[in-house]
Structures are given as C-alpha cells and as structure tokens.
Amino acid sequence: MSDAAARFEANRAVLIRHAYRMLGEHAEAEDVVQDAFLRWSDALATQRIADDRAFLRTTVTRLCIDRLRSARARREVYVGPWLPEPIVTRGGSDPADAAALADDVSFAFLLALERLSALERAAFLLHDVLDVPFAEIATTLGRSEEAVRQLAARARTNVRRSHLRSGEDDRPRSLELRARFAAAIGTDDLAALTRLLAEDVVFVSDSGGKVPSAMVPVIGPDRVGRLLLGLARKADSGMSVEPVFVNGMPGFLISDGRTIVQTIALEVVEERIVAVYVTRNPEKLRGAMRARTREPQQAQPSSGSAAPAFSESVRPVDQRGVYAARTDKRS
C-alpha cells in the first residue's frame, strides 16, 4: 500500500461514519468517501496537505451537503415513511461498540437529524459529534463563526427535543426484551407482547412503495401488538430469522434463504419498546445482504418459539390511515 493510500485508509472509517450520519444511506456514504479520496489524491499532486483529516472531513461534508440538497426533493415524493439504510451487526460485536452505535447512528437519532437543514446537520455533527472547532466549521460551510454557532445551537435544540433517551444503554436487558418479544410473537400472545410495549410505541415501516408495507406509522400498544401478530401469522414458514443488532439496537434479520426480506430494529427505553422500525425497501437492504455474505450465519427457522418471521401484508381499515394486519391464520 502506498503512503498516500495508507494515509487515507487511516481516516476512512471516521469519514464513512460521518457521511452516513449526514445522509442516512450507507451505500451513498461510501460513494461520497470514494469521491473525496479522488479529490484528495488530485490535491496531493499539486499541493502540500498539512492535515489530512481536516481536508477530507471538509470535502466529505461539502459533498454530503450537495447530495442532501438534491435528496430533499426526492424524499418529498418518497412513498411512505422514510428510514435510514440499516447497518446490521451480529452478537459477536463488542458491546461497547454496539452501545456507541446505538447512540450515534440509531434510527431515532438519524430521524432527528433528518428534520434539520443540511447546514444545521453539518454544523451539529462536526461540532457536537466530531468535536471540530467552530472556526474550522465556518471555513467548511462558508459562513461566519457566529453563524455556524447559531446553526449548531438550533440543531442541538431540535435534536434534544426529538431524540430523547432515558438512562444508559443496558445491553443484557435489551437482549432479554428481544427474546421476550420473539417469544410473545412465536406463541401468538397479545397480552405478553403489549406488556413489552410503551404506551406511545410506534411502528414505522419503510418500503419505498416497492413492496407491501404500512404507509403511515401505527401508534399504541394494542394496535402495534395486533399488527405484529397479524404479520407473524401471514409469514411464510420458509422464512429464516436471525437475531442481530440494527444500528446498534436489538433486532432481527429476516430472509427467504436467498435474499434479505427485511430488518427489524427495536428501540428500547426504560425496559419498554418505544419504537419498532422495519426496513423492507429492497434497495436499502442491499448493504445488509453484502454484510451477510461476509459473516457466518446464525439464522433460525421461523417455527415454534423462534423469533418472528414478519412478512408484511397490510391494508387500510379507515380513512385516518390507521392500518391493521390481515388476521387469517398461517397454514
């Protein structure tokens, strides 16, 4: 490996993580970082770069802002709820790494970032997450130092308002809750399932209109519980289910033996599930599929008390957009 390539590789992981937080799409984040590498390589041929990380961080941030501005128009016409592209890791991951992942790339955090403008998002992530001085952020964004302070402050207020986590991550309890969640669905036990759900639990499913999916969030333990059980009853018995972490949160990876059908992430606060995030958009599952081919499999068949093999088939039941699952039993 050349010296230039080694210098870049030393920064690649941090850059991809930053781009993913900015964009919410891992494949696009990798594209941005590769583009930044090409620009950095061209710059090396004509100038001396004193601080590789600062140069690359600035380049990645500006490229992300450009993409966000074009993505905003696409997301305005996106079919159904939008969720970030899932990052799937397995039980062998370091617990500290999983906890950190749950904090800074959880779906709740990324959805909070999605509500910010591109400049607010960049200022907040650069300062509060990467600890970049405001003077450097001002240069990166082409704004005054006072302006970027205000951008970061507005973003911080909005993120805190919408991204509330109570207490510290408790990995063993979260895993126990995932097991109880799977057992309740495996035994078709609505009472046991609803006891695990918070009063304001929300079920959000992202299919991009490409496969059947709930087109609006479903809220409340009874509605969410009935929906989950209905989906489990409709699941194909040939589906396999693997307990995994999705963006650091306990969850499941569902496949049909050839491709990944969906991922499920459980957001847990104070020993209750406050959100169930389901990603079904095939385009967003490609990254998880690539990761799956590189790691040993621990999938379980969806029978007995195994984890639930959800396969969504939902229908609107009233004009307010509340959805319920089909309740016919699985054959």
DSSP 142-207: TS-HHHHHHHHHHHHHHHHHH----S---HHHHHHHHHHHHHHHHTT-HHHHHHTEEEEEEEEEE-
- How do residues 28-66 score in pLDDT, each as one tens digit? 999 999 999 999 999 998 888 989 999 999 999 999 999
User: Which has the closest alpha carbon to 57: 151, 132, 147?
Assistant: 132
Instruction: With H, G, I as helix, E, B as strand and everything else as coil, classify residue 316.
Output: strand
Give CA–CA dist 296/303, Å, rounded: 21
Q: Average the pLDDT over 176-202 and give the result.
A: 96
Q: Average the pLDDT over 142-146 and give the result.
A: 97
Q: Is the pLDDT of residue 93 over 90?
A: no
Q: Average the pLDDT over 240-252 and give the result.
A: 92
Contact between 51 and 8 (Cβ < 8 Å):
no
End-to-end Cα, the chain, rounded Å: 57
Mean pLDDT, rounded, of the chain: 82
Residue reference for tokens 């590189």: 294
Q: Average the pLDDT over 126-146 and give the result.
A: 96
Contact between 85 and 284 (Cβ < 8 Å):
yes
Instruction: With H, G, I as helix, E, B as strand and everything else as coil, classify residue 66.
Output: helix
- Listed range (168-177, 274-283, 287-296) with the worst mean pLDDT: 287-296
Q: 331 vs 23, which has greater pLDDT?
A: 23
> What pLDDT, on the 0 to 100 scale, is given for residue 92?
55
> What pLDDT, on the 0 to 100 scale, is given for residue 299?
42
β-strands 197-206, 272-279 pairing: parallel
Q: Average the pLDDT over 151-170 and give the result.
A: 77
Both tokens of 201, joined, read 């639990």
Domains of the chain, with CATH numbers?
1-77 (no CATH), 171-325 (3.10.450.50)
Note if the pTM is more than 0.85. no
